[in-house]
Amino acid sequence: MFKRILIANRGEIALRVQRTCRELGIETVAVYSDPDRNARHVREADLAVNIGPGPALESYLSIDKIIDAAKQTGAEAIHPGYGFLSENALFTEACDAADIVFIGPSGSAMRAMGDKVSARLLMEKAGVPVIPGANDIDAEDVDTAMREAERIGYPLMVKAASGGGGRGIRLVHQAKDLESGMRQAGREAQASFGDSTIFLEKYVSPARHIEVQVMADNHGNVRTFGERECSIQRRNQKVLEEAPSIAVTPEIRSRLCEAAVSAAKSCDYRNAGTVEFLMDADGSFYFLEMNARLQVEHPVTELVYGVDLVALQLAVAVGEPLPEHSGLAEPHGWAIEARINGENSYRNFMPDLGLIEHVEFPTGPGVRFDTMLFDGLELPVFYDSLVGKLIVWAEDRELAVRRLRRALHDLIVVGIETNAPFHLALLDHPDFQTGNFHTGWLEASFEMPPLNVTTGESTALVAAAIAATVIESNSSNKSSTSPTTKWLKASRKKAVGLDITSGGSGWHSGIASR
């Protein structure tokens, strides 16, 4: 096994990898930008190297700086986490050139799966179901696109060939909107990926987004760990995931896993990956894409299959074969993950980052909170708004929903808004509780409910705010960072939850989550 690895990432995923390394006796090297100097992943690493200023292009996306940091510290391998350089074939090749093990797939597999058109062709050859579409179209070639669109039929999706993360995608309902959709998708793809090539794909709706976790070693073995339900999405971004899926039967699961194995073998895949499918109402499914890395939502799979996916990644990367029993063969219980973002659920999910004055983590049976938060952390504006992942496990879905609701109530963050109120409202929605949703459901059918506070509750909350202020003024000799002061701030924030400037629609996360 490795003696020392570098983690080319930040935040909760860097901490997640560190924990497994610590259990295995592996030293870790953290890299950090200037704004992340006091981050938890830096403090908990054995060694840490500064790699530049806040903008990701000058730090976490700098291949040369990360390779230099690995060389300086004697790291034998690099774990990329997710995002940043995790699916960059040039990075894997730079690791190879520096004689450093990249903990992930090969550059050739990344290229094969990173280009959506190439991946579609591979899947067709491997016998994996693919959505009808048209490949490799120039974003300016409207005539060709029009002919192909007539063949495919409307509605259809315009997608970036090199896309990912929900960027470079447009839904087109009729021919008159195709040209503008192409140009918008092409511009966004060029800006995000440096490639404006697009392809067309039949729009499958209503459909579920179902993905299968795979792990492949260097000895020809490919193992699957069931499916994850990822249909709760906003702007093509997942916000809540669960395992297993309420819509997947054992027979469908078997077919999904078989297709995922074929997908992995088609490009000689190694290490952890995720094969994503769209599944319609009758259980038919189609290949969507393959993510050549560990996913944000991997914890739900770990909980229902009793496996440490990071530990398996490390074992595979060092050349070990997959163990014969590397986890449960079938899902056990139910797990749900809520992505906790720094954003205001009542103001169109506007990002809200800044100083974390105080945080209280949920605990109790079946609760896991992967986060980088701590009292006094200043959240930088240079990175995304994900601040943690709240995951629960229970014997069945109904109990898992109740457990997640309880854990969300127990989560207290003072200093920024979080989307905890959104998750609580989602869990209470009848469609979510019955599993009656699809990828377009959230934006089409869900609205944040108004906060229902009775007159008596309002009076009690205002009284609590006044009391908190009086107590704080009488305790002015206490430090503003003391536990008492933090709790006063928390109670006052919950009490004065209504933002009167927003006409009653903007509520702080504390009161909205109670």
* Residues designated as active site: 293
Q: Are 162 and 193 in contact (CB under 8 A)?
A: yes
The per-residue DSSP string of 381-447 comes to: SSS-SEEEEEEEEESSHHHHHHHHHHHHHH-EEESS--SHHHHHHHHH-HHHHHT---TTHHHHH--
Burial class (CB in 10 A: 0-12, 13-18, 19+), 99: exposed
Q: Which residues contact 201 (CB under 8 A, 6 or more apart)?
A: 131, 132, 133, 152, 156, 157, 159
The per-residue DSSP string of 216-227 comes to: E-TTS-EEEEEE
Q: Which residues contact 216 (CB under 8 A, 6 or more apart)?
A: 222, 223, 264, 265, 269, 270, 271, 273, 316, 322
Question: Tokens 């496990």 — which residue?
Answer: 393
Q: How far is CA 250 from each of CA 193, 253, 257, 305, 399, rounded to the nearest angstrom?
A: 38, 5, 10, 15, 21
- Which residues, listed in sequence order, are joined to residue 29 by a DSSP beta bridge? 6, 47
Burial class (CB in 10 A: 0-12, 13-18, 19+), 320: middle
Amino acid identity at 323: P
Asked whether the CA dihedral 392, 398, 401, 403 is positive or negative, the reply is negative
